[in-house]
Chains A and B, each alone.
Chain A
């Protein structure tokens, strides 16, 4: 028996393919970048294996020498083994460490991102936006990231705040479409309409002013989200 709900919403996939994902295809250029990265990863592994191969050979020679020369001195043998073990361990730890997520090779069209330390720096680049004046108690501002084509053409600012395992973000971005959310509660933010949704520990609050979209989103209460929104100036 077919799922009536599935039938009702089954055209969602088609609409997404035709509209949202039009021209979003994983092409040969992207595949080649993955292949290049995989090849580079293999090459790095081979370079790292060589010294370990040498270490194995040295260790074998040392053990044979120790057996042959056992009568010379027991403490020299132990010291050499300890030395080889320490050097080997550090090589292994270097080798076995997963490479930290490295920045991918930037495509020629990558959106640029950079960080600033203060709101004043944001204000210098984006003179017309509103910025928040309230931080939820005990949260610390962790990062301010700007995104855009260049510092003269910033599209988005993302403020990140953290408190141990909780976080929230504030996004200020250029937005001329102003498509309003549906299913959100409308709230008054000093004369501007806000769109609020809160569920358990998470709150999401949007508002729009003068071609900018403002979003407060994260593990904070409704009250705090509203305080943040009303603090923008």
Chain B
């Protein structure tokens, strides 16, 4: 069975942009910051991104039509700002390729985080996957989007999302089995 949409759990926000901004920063501030960190791999850049995201949310709040949940909308803005900040081109004609925006930050994380990473069961394997598989796993398991929402957020067809999820899980399983076998 599919996962329910975020819209069922969607909090409502004031129509007044300045009030809605405060409410949304409380609800989604950390989620936006962590998503930005996941994509750009740099804490300071992630802070820049998150501030820019909420400024854009504030500026465009009155134009938000509710075609998607607020969370989906905000995360989509976050991913777009990450791409802007990383200054890579993308087009509307082709599927946006996440691997072109993620700079494999896992390899330049602080030493302390790297040490902790080695003790994780799943995360270290996820971060070693190709970037477009990391992305769908993050959007599905961490942000708890369903495949329709992931398609909207990542601007790729839903079929592609499903395919990547299947492949990502398979790769993750293989990686876990290999580690188990090597012990």
Contacts and interface: CB of A to CB of B under 8 A. Distances in A.
Interface string B139-183: 001101000000000000000000000000101111100100000
Interface residues of A, number: 69
B59 A41 contact: yes
Contact of B128 (A11, A182, A213): A182
Interface string A1-17: 10101101111110110
Contacts of A1: 1
Contact of A167 (B48, B50, B100): B100
Contacts of A21: 34, 37
Given A37-B55, A110-B48, A19 B33 contact: no
Interface string B47-87: 11011101100110000000000000000000000001001
Main secondary structure of the interface of A (DSSP, over half): mixed
A125 B122 CA distance: 38
Interface of A: 1, 3, 5-6, 8-13, 15-16, 18-22, 24-26, 30-31, 33-35, 37-38, 41, 101, 104, 107, 109-111, 143, 145, 155-156, 158, 160, 162, 165, 167-169, 171, 173-184, 197, 199, 201-202, 204, 206, 213, 215, 217-219
Contacts of B120: 15, 19
Contacts of A19: 113, 116-117, 119-120, 123
Contacts of A34: 21, 25, 51, 54-55, 58
Of the listed residues A12, A101, A143, A160, the one surrounded by the most CB atoms of chain B closer than 10 A to its CB is A12
Contact of B99 (A9, A25, A171, A204): A204
Interface string B115-144: 011011111111111111100011001101
Contact of A101 (B52, B123, B138, B142): B52
Smallest CB-CB A-B distances: 7 pairs: A26-B29, A182-B128, A15-B123, A34-B54, A19-B116, A165-B91, A15-B120
